[in-house]
Amino acid sequence: MIAADEGDIDVAAEILRSIGVSVDAMQVDLSTKEGAADFARFIADKGRPVDILLANAGRGLGKGFLDQNLDEALHVIDTNVTGTVALIHSIGNEMRARGAGKILITGSIAGFIPGTYQAVYNGTKEFLNSFSFALRHELKDSGVTVTCLMPGATETRFFERADMLDTEVGQSEKDNPIDVAKVGFDALMKNEGDVVAGWKNKLQTVMANVTPAGMLAEQHAKMAAPGTAKK
């Protein structure tokens, strides 16, 4: 079962069906508690327990915080945090009651870095990273596992939607989403607590843990500030 707030979710469902996968798709706004509840009911109505939850809904937004539209900034928080937490709370309780289930939460290496010109987005990913680690510990004796996938920049429409195509990171070479998804799924099935996708991202995470926050913020600005894309 898959869900997104765009009509393309139905296209994705048809692609999966074409290779023999049974898919139920729902177009729903997962940035709200109501949307998450609607999707949970959609799942429950199918009468099948959820064995694996991939909590991957997310949004980004570029530019300086005070230059952003406030409603758009709050939508990032609602999608990445509020809706994700609401969905995990609903499905997680059902998993715990059965004593079985796997949850994969898409955090990010951005959660280790003060995100100058992506302040809201990086803040939400810092929350998701921390939330994942804590939830895993809370559920350690329940039969439910939690894994945090922490990718770096990935070749999707993320930077287009975040209005960041004029930035260095927006124009940079990015990781293949198929490779990133495989890394996350393999870690989930092996019951690993967390995984960083890609050796460059692993190195960046290590460096972030020993670099002063002010220096990290300055470095992030150089790749995320509007107009930094190489001509």
Does some domain include residue 3?
no
Does some domain include residue 140?
yes
Position 6 scores a pLDDT of 80
Position 172 scores a pLDDT of 96
Does some domain include residue 39?
no
Question: 46: which residues sit within 8 A by CB, 6+ positions away?
Answer: 1, 24
Q: How many structural domains is the chain composed of?
A: 1
Domain that holds residue 148: 49-224
Does some domain include residue 175?
yes
Does some domain include residue 29?
no
Position 4 scores a pLDDT of 80
Instruction: Return the axis-axis angle of helices 84-98 and 119-138, rounded to nearest 10°.
Output: 10
Q: Mean pLDDT in each 10-residue stretch from start to end of the chain (231 residues)?
A: 81 91 89 91 89 95 98 98 95 97 98 98 98 98 98 96 97 96 98 96 96 97 95 59
Position 231 scores a pLDDT of 59
Position 8 scores a pLDDT of 84
Position 221 scores a pLDDT of 98
Does some domain include residue 216?
yes
Whole-structure pTM value: 0.93
Angle 46-58-99 (CA atoms, 0-180°, nearest 5)?
A: 45
Does some domain include residue 96?
yes
Position 191 scores a pLDDT of 97
Does some domain include residue 15?
no
Residues designated catalytic: 121
How does DSSP classify residue 5? Answer: S
CATH of the domain at 61: 3.40.50.720
